[in-house]
Structure formats: structure tokens, C-alpha cells
Amino acid sequence: SPARSALAPRDTAARRKGKARRGRGKARNEGLLSKQKRSRRMKANDRERNRMHHLNSALDALRSVLPTFPDDAKLTKIETLRFAHNYIWALTQSLRLA
């Protein structure tokens, strides 16, 4: 259109090579990619935080049903899982013997 050509004349040689426009577009794309990466990282961090929250809640619920002799002692994650495994095994053995 005539109005467009008056406002932004096109250089066909530069357009063919793509050098004049590529530099600005690349910087804009790099900025956009950086924002997208940050957004993806924040979402991944949120998912991981929620996953750990749910895991810790489940372990707390498991600890609440396991018999521990010092009631104030909080078992670690691995101790909780090992204790639960051994407790289930012991209950199974007592049922077999009964």
C-alpha cells in the first residue's frame, strides 16, 4: 500500500538476505525464550514443591499410625518407611501364627 511504503520503505536486497530484520527479531525471540524458560522453571518448582508437600503429609500420616516408643521422637523419611515395612511384616507373621 502507498501509505505503508511511505512510512517504512522496504529494501529488497536487505529483505532477501534477512540481515536487517533478523538481528532485532532474534533478540526479541531470545527475550521471549528467556521468559518462557523462567515460566517453565517456576511451574516445575511449584510442581516439585507440591509433590514434596504431599509426600511429607503422607509420611506424617504414616508416622501417626506407627507405634513409636519415644512418642516425641520423629522418625526420618527412610526410618519411617523401614519401620512401616518391618511393622507390616511383623503383623503378617503374627497373623500367620495365630
The C-alpha cell at 68 is: 513409636
Of residues 18 and 97, more confidently modeled: 97
pLDDT range class, residue 45, cuts 50, 70, 90 = very high
Q: What is the pLDDT of residue 31?
A: 87
Q: Which residue segments constitute the domains of the chain, with CATH numbers given?
A: 25-97 (4.10.280.10)
With a pLDDT cut of 90, the percent of the chain lying above it is 56
Interval 54-58 mean pLDDT: 97
Residue 82 to residue 53: CA distance in whole angstroms: 20
Q: What is the pLDDT of residue 92?
A: 97
